[in-house]
Chains A and B, each alone.
Chain A
Amino acid sequence: MMITWIILVSLVCKSTQHGNGQENGVLQCGPQNLTLTSSDQMIMLTWTEDDPSCSAVHDVLVYELVVLKPDSSIPLTGEVSVMPDQIGSSHSWNWISPFALECFSHSVRIRSRYNKQTSPWKQEHTHPGMENLKRPGVYPKDRFFEVGSNFTFCCILPAGEIFNNTPGSSKLRRISNQTYAFTVHMTQASNYTCNNVYCPSTEHGACAYIGYPPQDKDLQCETRDLQSVECHWTFGGDSPVSHKSPTVYHLLGRECREGGGGLEIRGDEGRCKMEVEMDSGEINWTLTAENKLGKVELLDRADLIKRVHMIAPNTMTASTVNARNVTLEWEWTVPHYSNLKIKCHVNISHGETHTIREYFGVGLNFTVLNDLIPYWKYNVTVRCGTTHHLWKWSEWSTTVNFHTRVPDALDVWRQAVGDKIIIIWKMPLANQSHGNIKDYRVTWEKTRSQGKEQQHTTVYNNDSLALSLDMTEEYIVTVTTRNEYGSSSPSTITIPSRNPVSDGTERANTSWIVRSSGSFNLSWSPSPAASCGYIVDWCPTVGHCKVEWLKVSPNQTNARIFSKNFTDGVRYLISVYACTQEAPVLLDRSEDYVRETRIKDGLFQSLKWKQKDSDVEVYWDPINQREQSAFIRGYVLYWWENDSSEKFSTNASTVNPEDTSLTARKLPINNYKFIVMAKTAVGECGTTNITVTLNPLNNLVKPVLIPLLTVFGLLSLITILCYQHWTCIKQKVYPPVPEPVLTWPTSPGENRCRPLHVDQYPYNEPEFLDVSELHYNLGQVVNGNVSEDYKPFASTQTPGGYINQPLKKSTSPPLTLLTIDAPSSPFRSVFSNPSYNLLMETGDQQSSPGPRLQEGTPLGRSFSEYQPQSNTQTFNLFQTTEEPRSPMSCDSTYIVLPKST
């Protein structure tokens, strides 16, 4: 029995599990976690199902919903179908009531249905209703309504109070005991404040804002700065309720906020600006406008690259105002414009005339207006747009007013004088000043300081200003001038840190100068550095130099230079500079005359002469070439004898203008007149003469006087020496021996006088000299070379005789032999005095006709130098040592005197 019951129970359980949540006709899979929310008139119910039995549902699960409310006897129903794959997730259902939820209580019931099985009802209450809360009045309160709409209000009367009649146009119908409904047609928009809605015949009422949903339209998007989008639309106007429910705008889902240029409503135009990536290609730009009464969505499809609406040019200035042209400059507030191809319209107005000129350029920010009328007032304004895909022109810029009466820009140049820089300008002519020039303003500053250390001064009635500038710095000097109408455009020149005038070492000589009837025709090679043209300046090379200059356009490499200050015969220094954006660069420098003139006589003011034998050299101080009135191409020297009638018989010349002398050669002794002249293109000129008288003795002075003086000096020396050693000499020369026998002293040293140290000869070691007088008789010499009249071989110089050959260097043995050459035959002779045998050996067969001193022992300095034309008297003092094998054993000193020829 027990087992049977267990089996039955198990079967029942089994059948229940297979019944898909159905148990005895009641569906177990029902709504769970009900949540009822309400807003204004809408009720929303959310729920889930988490019953395990729901997992067995394999088909559509349907939820039935019923709203119960007192104004309708028939309940409103709704259904929500849930697919099997949605089971377990959250579900919702909403319902919008025609009444305000405050009018009465609402309740919602829900159950599930599956295969004709339903779950139990579940009920949720919503707003309990003001009637139940004992709060009479008109509902809803403070709600927004669109103009033209209808709405049913409810009026809840206090307990016990009822309507006696049905007043006004409102149609009252009773909903519950104390609640009545009446419909209001919203015909009139709210003004000032909300509209009053009264519960008829009572003082109860409510406030209703009646207005419009956003009515904006015509969206158009563009970019002005190439980094943000600006969308414009037609603003729908202020809604009567806008102060209570302002319209909120979103562009591409991002809110446009007021302030900071994001959202801006001006009149009937709205604008929203937002930073965006500037991608190329078309994009849908969507703007939504929403208030409490509705929402509107505006769309514009655009490629912003083709929708550039430029911002008007800023900071318009007429930077350079001349009589017939003006430079207009402006700035862009958007950096990206500098890379944009731009075209601009310039509206030029004067009087009733308006002219528009068009200009193009990348990042165009200036233009030059030409063909203007001098002395005229102009008003100019500019607008710009992109060259390609012009979307819109920018707004017109602010108007610039200018008068073409201001002075033209000054022509400014500089000149370095010593350590000063002279800023020079050309005073404006009448057609350049356009009025009375009041003053000139010179401003200078270091390039490095960039406007921080600007200095200036005002100059009146002058065309230059000397500045003492720091030469290690580069300066920018600006000069302007003013007339009664205004200031000229600034003229600027850069003064480099080093003086360019003195720096000409690296330049090439690439210019040519051709004189042309009082002017120069100058041409030069083009320079790539000359971005703004060339400047040619000139100045006299001597005297006061006030530089003049001429400016030449970049495409021009020649110029005709003319000046009223040009003077014939004055040399000018002409320089060519390249005009650059920085300091001028010296290209070339030349010197020339407008016209060369004859150099005045007396050019050689320091003319002198000197005689060299029979030559006459005429010389002078160097000539300052620059001071001359013509190029000197050399000099020429003329001379003639004073008593000669023939002029310019002979001449000498040079082509070097730097030469300072000319020589007339081999002139006979006479009186001459010399003339020196400079050779120039205009002939020989600058004549300077000098008279010269040649001195006949001039040739004998040196060859005669000098030897005489030399001999005198030597003789004086010998005399002094002899005087000082007279005793010794006397003893040696006149020994106390009987005449005529000559005997040798027994001891070589006994009769010797004290040694004589001869300092005059730089011997290596002191020598001891025995001086003796030698007498010999040549009568026995058979050789004809010996004088026949027996003249003693003594120390008397032959008058006028001299040795006209070099002395040979002594190289051998210490023994020195006095050899007298015998041309005819060698001979040997012995003095007649047996005790005084002098061995005379013939030489080596030399045939020299005169006596000759052979080479001896080098005792010191040798006399090897040839002394031409010198009368030489040679005294050779030798000391010989006794040699055992010597043919003559004699320790004597010989005084050899050259034989007179």
Chain B
Amino acid sequence: MAARRTRRMIGSDVSRTTAARAAAIAEQLRYECSILLELYKKRESFSADFSVADGRLVSVPPPSSQLDTRDKLWRLHSALLQCRSLLERAINKEEAELGDGRKADYETQRKKVKDRLSLLLINTGELLKAVDGTAVPTPSLDGLEIDGPTVLFELKLWVYRIYKEVDYWTKTAITTLQALPSVLAKERVMAPRLRSTRSARR
């Protein structure tokens, strides 16, 4: 455990830089995702006030104040990873069931979001590695409803929900990543105290 803490300290500077970069990417992704949602609603003739029922497609542990930085990062990384899987599935399904073979703005934006999400995942993965010091465990995708519906209208809604999910987790990523430097600084201050307390107990 001590070694782990040591490694975490060593990587703190790296983590801050990576977190900042990841936050910037998440900002960009959120912007691109909002454009994608608008294009999709226009394409599918969804009204401006169109909404879908709440409910998450991504399955992660519920947020808690008890979670430390690593766990928060892991939760975020896992959620983004599921988002990418869902997004890839949505793209394939959409092209097979709804697409007409054209490559318009919507299709371009869709690809852009997918690529940006992948870039964000790389950064969160690096960040997770820097903070934890170990290899990033691959989150399980079990239980993820990845096949999607077969009825076209429901497929449209499913795709929309996936975009909304990406949008949601992008916003979560921004929040998490932007808060990460201050958290890391606090933990650095707290670390010697914890070490001395533990030494005294021994």
- Nearest residue, chain A, Cβ from B52: A203
Asked if A406 is at the interface (CB within 8 A of a chain B CB), the reply is no
Is there an interface contact between A141 and B100, defined as CB atoms closer than 8 Å? no
Is there an interface contact between B153 and A193, defined as CB atoms closer than 8 Å? no
Is there an interface contact between B151 and A141, defined as CB atoms closer than 8 Å? yes
Is there an interface contact between A196 and B156, defined as CB atoms closer than 8 Å? yes
Is there an interface contact between B151 and A207, defined as CB atoms closer than 8 Å? yes
Q: With A192-B43, A196-B44 in contact, is A206–B101 under 8 Å at CB?
A: no
What residues of chain A lie closer than 8 Å to B31, measured between beta carbons? none
User: Between A and B, how many residue pairs show CB distances below 8 Å?
Assistant: 44
Q: With A193-B43, A196-B44 in contact, is A207–B153 under 8 Å at CB?
A: yes
Is there an interface contact between B100 and A206, defined as CB atoms closer than 8 Å? no
Within 8 A of A (CB), among B38-97: 43-46, 51-53
Is there an interface contact between A142 and B152, defined as CB atoms closer than 8 Å? yes
Q: With A193-B98, A196-B153, A243-B100 in contact, is A203–B43 under 8 Å at CB?
A: no
Is there an interface contact between A193 and B52, defined as CB atoms closer than 8 Å? no
Within 8 A of A (CB), among B99-123: 99-102, 104
- Nearest residue, chain A, Cβ from B43: A192
A193 to B98, CA, bound (A): 6
Is there an interface contact between A141 and B152, defined as CB atoms closer than 8 Å? yes
Is there an interface contact between B45 and A195, defined as CB atoms closer than 8 Å? yes
What residues of chain B lie closer than 8 Å to A197, measured between beta carbons? 153
Chain B proximity mask over A141-166: 1 for CB below 8 Å, otherwise 0: 11000000000000000000000000
State how many angstroms separate the Cβ of B122 from the closest Cβ of chain A: 32
Is there an interface contact between B101 and A193, defined as CB atoms closer than 8 Å? no
What residues of chain B lie closer than 8 Å to A138, measured between beta carbons? 153
State how many angstroms separate the Cβ of A242 from the closest Cβ of chain B: 9
Is there an interface contact between B153 and A206, defined as CB atoms closer than 8 Å? yes
Residue of A138, A193, A197, A205 ringed by the most chain B CB atoms within 10 A:
A193
A243 to B96, CA, bound (A): 11
Is there an interface contact between B53 and A193, defined as CB atoms closer than 8 Å? no
What residues of chain B lie closer than 8 Å to A194, measured between beta carbons? 98, 152-153
What residues of chain A lie closer than 8 Å to B45, measured between beta carbons? 195-196
What residues of chain A lie closer than 8 Å to B52, measured between beta carbons? 203
A138 to B151, CA, bound (A): 11
- Nearest residue, chain B, Cβ from A243: B100
Q: With A203-B53, A243-B100, A243-B101 in contact, is A193–B151 under 8 Å at CB?
A: no
A203 to B157, CA, bound (A): 9
Q: With A206-B153, A207-B156 in contact, is A196–B46 under 8 Å at CB?
A: yes
Is there an interface contact between A142 and B98, defined as CB atoms closer than 8 Å? no
State how many angstroms separate the Cβ of A40 from the closest Cβ of chain B: 15
Is there an interface contact between A193 and B51, defined as CB atoms closer than 8 Å? no
Is there an interface contact between B151 and A142, defined as CB atoms closer than 8 Å? yes
Is there an interface contact between A193 and B46, defined as CB atoms closer than 8 Å? no
What residues of chain A lie closer than 8 Å to B53, measured between beta carbons? 203
State how many angstroms separate the Cβ of B66 from the closest Cβ of chain A: 36
Q: With A196-B45, A196-B46 in contact, is A207–B152 under 8 Å at CB?
A: yes
State how many angstroms separate the Cβ of A192 from the closest Cβ of chain B: 5
What residues of chain A lie closer than 8 Å to B153, measured between beta carbons? 138, 141-142, 194, 196-197, 205-207
Chain B proximity mask over A583-624: 1 for CB below 8 Å, otherwise 0: 000000000000000000000000000000000000000000
State how many angstroms separate the Cβ of B123 from the closest Cβ of chain A: 34
State how many angstroms separate the Cβ of A137 from the closest Cβ of chain B: 8
A142 to B46, CA, bound (A): 17
A194 to B99, CA, bound (A): 10
- Nearest residue, chain B, Cβ from A209: B152
- Nearest residue, chain A, Cβ from B101: A243
A364 to B157, CA, bound (A): 67
Chain B proximity mask over A187-219: 1 for CB below 8 Å, otherwise 0: 000001111110000010111000000000000
A197 to B151, CA, bound (A): 13
- Nearest residue, chain B, Cβ from A206: B153
State how many angstroms separate the Cβ of B120 from the closest Cβ of chain A: 28
What residues of chain B lie closer than 8 Å to A206, measured between beta carbons? 151, 153
What residues of chain A lie closer than 8 Å to B99, measured between beta carbons? 193, 243
State how many angstroms separate the Cβ of A145 from the closest Cβ of chain B: 14
Within 8 A of A (CB), among B1-58: 43-46, 51-53
A195 to B157, CA, bound (A): 13
What residues of chain A lie closer than 8 Å to B51, measured between beta carbons? 203
A192 to B99, CA, bound (A): 7
A194 to B43, CA, bound (A): 10
What residues of chain A lie closer than 8 Å to B100, measured between beta carbons? 192-193, 243
- Nearest residue, chain B, Cβ from A142: B152
A142 to B43, CA, bound (A): 17
What residues of chain A lie closer than 8 Å to B157, measured between beta carbons? 203
State how many angstroms separate the Cβ of A51 from the closest Cβ of chain B: 44
What residues of chain B lie closer than 8 Å to A243, measured between beta carbons? 99-101
Q: Which 5 A-B pairs have the closest CB atoms?
A: A207-B152, A193-B98, A207-B153, A243-B100, A142-B152
Chain B contact residues, CB within 8 Å of chain A: 43-46, 51-53, 98-102, 104, 151-153, 156-157
22 examples of A-B residue contacts, CB within 8 angstroms: A141-B151, A141-B152, A141-B153, A142-B152, A142-B153, A192-B43, A192-B100, A192-B102, A192-B104, A193-B44, A193-B98, A193-B100, A194-B152, A203-B51, A203-B157, A205-B153, A206-B153, A207-B151, A207-B153, A207-B156, A243-B99, A243-B101
Other than the given A192-B44, A193-B156, A206-B151, 19 more pairs (CB < 8 A) read A141-B152, A141-B153, A142-B152, A142-B153, A192-B43, A192-B98, A193-B43, A193-B44, A193-B99, A194-B98, A195-B45, A196-B44, A196-B46, A196-B153, A203-B51, A206-B153, A207-B152, A207-B156, A243-B101
